[in-house]
Amino acid sequence: GENVEQHPSTLSVQEGDSAVIKCTYSDSASNYFPWYKQELGKRPQLIIDIRSNVGEKKDQRIAVTLNKTAKHFSLHITETQPEDSAVYFCAASNWNNDMRFGAGTRLTVKP
Amino acid sequence: DSGVTQTPKHLITATGQRVTLRCSPRSGDLSVYWYQQSLDQGLQFLIQYYNGEERAKGNILERFSAQQFPDLHSELNLSSLELGDSALYFCASSVSPGGVDQPQHFGDGTRLSIL
């Protein structure tokens, strides 16, 4: 089955700096890669996703890149704000597997 | 609001007891997933149902069981509860079992506390 590794486990940045979270996956058949943001005590919420036929996708200050050859994908947050502080989870799935999540990254944006 | 409804929001019980958590998926979603999230931990996949049938199993203990009913709501049954079962239990739903363009939408979770 799929195995997803996520790094770093914690990340602290100054407000206005960029943050990058990286994930690797093991199943070359995986073709869908969502990212979720979870604020303390709340449900994970989808913030951006990317499909295997796309190398990069942007949505305002958030971008995701995918390297299928290397089997890794990354979340990039620019101009970070205190409200970006949360736990971020990456995930990977394919047509036959249930979705597997990374262990999460706790992002802290210091004002 | 994700459209996924979980009840109850909070549950407090004692060791050795049995509880049932309930999930109603978003309208039109056929697949339901259950996850366990212990304090400051990641999302541990427990089990998945699609249109009433079990489709995938994760690290679900034998003391735990689930089912999905004809109206597509799902229940997670936890028995012989232990202190370590204290966690936030999330249900998520998606249109189909998996694949491209199939994000999972999460409910607000049930917080289970074992005393």
Question: For A78-95, how does the pLDDT look when each residue is reduced to its tens digit (9 = 90+)?
Answer: 999 999 999 999 999 876
The alpha-carbon gap from B26 to the nearest alpha carbon of chain A, in Å, equals 14
Q: Torsion-angle region of residue B72: left (phi > 0), alpha (psi -120 to 50) or beta?
A: left
Q: Which residues of A touch B110 (CB under 8 A)?
A: none
Decide if B98 and A94 are in contact by the 8 Å CB cutoff: yes
Decide if A42 and B56 are in contact by the 8 Å CB cutoff: no
A41 Cβ contact list (under 8 Å, min separation 6): none
Tens digit of pLDDT per residue, chain B (115 long)? 889 999 999 999 999 999 999 999 999 899 999 999 998 788 898 999 989 999 888 889 999 999 999 999 999 999 999 999 999 999 999 887 654 567 889 999 999 999 9
Decide if A100 and B45 are in contact by the 8 Å CB cutoff: yes
The alpha-carbon gap from B18 to the nearest alpha carbon of chain A, in Å, equals 24
Report pLDDT digits (tens) over A41-57.
899 999 999 988 889 99
**What pairs with residue A7 in β-bridges?**
A22
